[in-house]
A and B are shown apart, each in its own frame.
Chain A
Amino acid sequence: MGKPNSEISGAKIMTGIKSFLNSDLVYRFRKDKVAVVSLSIVLILVFSAILAPLISPFDPYDLKSIDIMDSEIPPVWNEGEGDERFLLGTDPQGRDMLSTILYGMRISLTIGFFAVLLQGVLGVTIGLLSGYFGGKIDAFFMRLADIQLSFSTLMVAIIALAIFQAAFGAELYSKLAIFMLVLVIGIAEWPQYARTVRASVLAEKNKEYVDAARVIGMSPKRIMFRHIFPNTLSPILVISTIQVANAIISEAALSFLGLGMPVNQPSLGSLISSGFEYIFSGSWWITVIPSLFLVLLILSINMLGDWLRDALNPKLYKD
C-alpha cells in the first residue's frame, strides 16, 4: 500500500529542484549577466585546475621533461622569440608556464577549499554553541574572536608560520607546507564564521518555534542542528564564497613571503614570488602571467559572492 520510499523521495527531490530553478534566486541570477559570467569563469578555472595533470602539455615537476636550454622563452605571441610548444613562455628553469600555472592553481584552490572547510566547521560549531548557550561560553569565545580578529588573520598566519618555519627548519617545513597552510588559514579565520552564525542563532533563538521545541522536550543538540542551523545557511553561503577568495589571497601572500608553498611545489603565490626579480631584466611574463590568473580567479569568486550577498539580503530594496 503506497509507493516505496525511494520513489517518494525521488519525487520530492525533483520538485525541490524544479522549485529551486523557478525560484526568485535563479531568476535574478539569469537576469544578471555579470553573475553568469563570473560563475562560468570560476567553473572553467576550477575544472582546468582539477584536470591539470590531464590537460597540461607538460608535467613541470618531472625533471626529465625540462631542458635548461628552454629557459626564459617569452609567450607565443611575442614575435621572434616565442615558441609554439610553450604557449605562455617558460620560467628560468625551462618549465612551461601554462603547466606550472595549472598545477599552481590546483594547489591554490585545494588549500583555499580545505582551509575554508576547516574554518567553516570550526566556526559554525563554535557559533552555534556560543549563540545557543550564551553565558560564559559565549563570552569566552567572543573575546577570543575579538582578539584574534583585531590581530588580523594575516598577521596571525604570518607569525604562526614564521615560528613553525624557524622551529622545524626549511626542509621539514616544505614537506608539511600544504598541511600547515590549511591548518593555519583554517584556524585563523574561524571567527568570521562563528560571528555570522552566532548572529543568526541569536536572531532565531528568540523566535517562537524554538520555545515550542524546547517545551516539547527536544534536546538542545537537536534543536540546534535540525531547526536553527538550516536558517543560518544563507549567510554561511554568502561568506563562504568571500572566504574562499580570501583564503586564496592569504595563501598567495604567505607563499609570496616565503612562508608558504616551497618552490618545488609552487602555488600561484610562490610562482609570482620566484618570478619577481625577473621583472627588471625584462622577462616580465614569469611573474605577470601567474598574477593575472590569480587575479582572474579571485575576481570571479568575489563577484559571485557579491551578487549572492546582494541577492540574499532582505534589507536592501531590489529593483
Chain B
Amino acid sequence: MQATLVMFVISLIGFSIQDNLGDPLRELVGQSVSEKEREALRDRMGLNDPFLVQYGRFLSKAVQGDLGDSYFFKKPALEVIAKKFPATLELVIGATLIIIFSSVPLGIYSAINPKSWFTRFILGFSIVGISVPVFLTAIFSIYIFSVELGWMPSFGRGETTNLFGWDSGFFNRDGLAHLVLPSISLASIMMPLFIRLIRSEMMEILQLDYIRFAWAKGLYPKRIWFLHAFKNTLLPVITVGGVQVGTMLAYTILTESVFQWPGMGFLFLEAVNRVDTPLIIAYIIVVGLIFVVTNTVVDLLYTWVNPTVKLVGQKS
C-alpha cells in the first residue's frame, strides 16, 4: 500500500515537472509556426486543459506503459529506456556479486580477528575505499589498467551475445573483459561499506550473551561464527543493503558516464543535456518503480530471515 502511495507521489512530481519544463511544442514544430497556429495546436493537444485533467491523462497513459515520446529519439520513452536497461542491469549484477563475495568473508574475518595485521589492512583499505568517490576509482582504474598497462578496454560494452532476445555481456570473453573495470568501480564504494557494517555488527553480536552461551555449550567455533553470529548479522545488513540499492543506482550514473557504458544512467545524462523532458521523466518514474520493487523484496527477505517479525496478516 505504501508502495502505491510512493509511486503516486513520484508520478505527480514527474508530471508537474514535465508540465513546467520546456515547451513540447517547440520541439515538435519548430520556430517558424505562427502564434495563432501554436495556440490551435495546443488546444488540440490538450495542453490548455486544467492541470488535473492533464494529470489524469498522463496517469492513464503511464499505466499502460506510455510515457510519451523522447524528443531526441522520436520513439516512445519507455522503449528507449527498456533497450538500455539490460546494460545497466548487468553492471549492477556484476558489482553485486563482487560485493557479496568479498565483503562477507572479509567482514566476518575482521570481526573474529580484530587485532590481526590482515584486519588492519582490510580496514585501512576500506577507509580508502570509502574516501575515493566512485568516479575517481573509475578514472584511476582506467588510467592504470587501460592507459598505462593496456590490459583492459576502457570504454563501451564490447561484444554481446544474444540470449533469448537479451543482449548479454556475460557470456563471451570480450564482454566480460569490458565488464570487469566498471563492475569493480561500481563495487568499490559499497564493498568497504559492507565490510565495515558486517564487521561492526558482528563484533557487537559476538559480545552478546547468547554467543557466550554458545561457547559455554562447547560448540565448534565455525558453527558459532557462521551460524549463531552471522545469521543475526544478516538482519541489519539486509536492511542497510536495501537502502543502498538506491545509492547503487545513483552510482551507476557516475560509472556509466566515465566508461561510456551504454546503460540507463548514461542515457539519463544525455537526456538532461539535451533537455529531452519526456525521457527525463520516464527515467525518474522507472527509477521510482525500481526502488519500490526492491524495497518490497527486501522487506520480504527480512521477514523470511527474522522469525520474530511477522508480516501483517500472517498466522503466528
Contacts and interface: CB of A to CB of B under 8 A. Distances in A.
B254 A257 contact: yes
A295 B136 contact: yes
Given A166-B280, A252-B133, A155 B246 contact: yes
Contacts of A303: 127
Given A149-B243, A151-B291, A167 B139 contact: no
B207 interface: yes
Interface string A133-172: 0000000000100010111111100110011011100000
Nearest to A34: B124
A298 B131 contact: yes
Contacts of B261: none
Interface stretch (A14-22, A78-86, A279-287): A279-287
A302 B242 contact: no
Interface stretch (B87-95, B172-180, B216-224, B268-276): B268-276
Interface string B130-154: 1111111001101100010000001
A125 to B, nearest CB: 23
Interface string B1-38: 01000100000000001001110000000000000000
A193 B228 CA distance: 33
Interface string A275-319: 010011000100110010011001100110010000000011100
Nearest to A316: B203
Interface in B29-50: none
B249 A166 contact: no
A155 B247 contact: yes
Contacts of A166: 21-22, 272, 275, 277, 280
Interface centre among B131, B134, B249, B295 (most CB of A within 10 A): B131
B251 interface: yes
Given A158-B250, A165-B272, A253 B22 contact: no
A201 interface: no
A183 B22 CA distance: 23
Given A154-B247, A166-B277, A291-B140, A257 B131 contact: no
A89 B303 CA distance: 57
Contact of A158 (B131, B142, B207, B253): B253
B246 A152 contact: yes
A252 B134 CA distance: 10
Interface in A217-269: 245, 249, 252-253, 256-259
A245 B251 contact: no
A45 to B, nearest CB: 13
Interface residues of A, number: 42
B272 A162 contact: yes
Contact of B20 (A147, A153, A167): A167
A154 B251 contact: yes
A272 interface: yes
A256 B254 contact: yes
Interface in A14-70: none
A206 B34 CA distance: 70
Contacts of A280: 147, 154
A165 B276 CA distance: 12
B280 A257 contact: no
A159 B133 CA distance: 19
A149 B142 CA distance: 31
Interface centre among A165, A249, A288 (most CB of B within 10 A): A249
B130 A302 contact: yes
B258 interface: yes
Contacts of A153: 247
B131 A295 contact: yes
A139 to B, nearest CB: 12
B284 interface: yes
A307 to B, nearest CB: 10
Contacts of A159: 284
A306 B127 contact: yes
Contacts of A151: 246, 288, 291
A40 to B, nearest CB: 17
Interface of A: 143, 147, 149-155, 158-159, 162-163, 165-167, 245, 249, 252-253, 256-259, 272, 276, 279-280, 284, 287-288, 291, 294-295, 298-299, 302-303, 306, 315-317
Given A152-B247, A162-B268, 19 more contacts: A143-B2, A149-B243, A150-B245, A150-B246, A150-B291, A154-B251, A155-B246, A155-B247, A155-B250, A163-B17, A163-B280, A166-B272, A166-B277, A272-B136, A295-B132, A299-B127, A303-B127, A306-B127, A316-B204
5 smallest A-B Cβ distances: which pairs?
A152-B246, A154-B250, A152-B247, A299-B131, A155-B250
12 contacts: A149-B246, A150-B291, A151-B291, A152-B243, A154-B250, A154-B251, A162-B268, A245-B131, A252-B133, A279-B147, A284-B147, A298-B132
